[in-house]
Amino acid sequence: MQIKYSRDAIKFLEKQNKTTVERIRCAISKLTLNPPEGSIAPLLGYSDNRKRLRIGSWRIIFKRAMEGQIEVLLIIDIGSRGDIYK
């Protein structure tokens, strides 16, 4: 499985300290397992099967997609729980 980050997700990670980035990347790597590990819930109101992963006060919005024969995990956005859903 390949992991792709959106521009917003990359910007968020560049602003964080090393410990936070490591914690988030570790949690994202667990999403590639079958079945994925973590506090995952589907997001209502989206037709593209977006889900969120909770890591303390941070939320990661992601979805799985197929690009040809390769399964891709697209990290759409990362943010604090109060701001990510706006």
pLDDT score recorded for residue 85: 77
Confidence label for 18 from pLDDT (cuts 50, 70 and 90): very high
- What DSSP state is assigned to residue 43? P
pLDDT score recorded for residue 81: 87
Q: Which tens digit of pLDDT belongs to each residue from 25-76? A: 999 999 999 888 999 999 998 888 899 999 999 999 999 999 889 999 999 9
CATH topology of domain 2-80: YaeB-like fold (3.30.2310)
Q: How is the chain split into domains, by residue range?
A: 2-80
d(CA 22, CA 9): 14
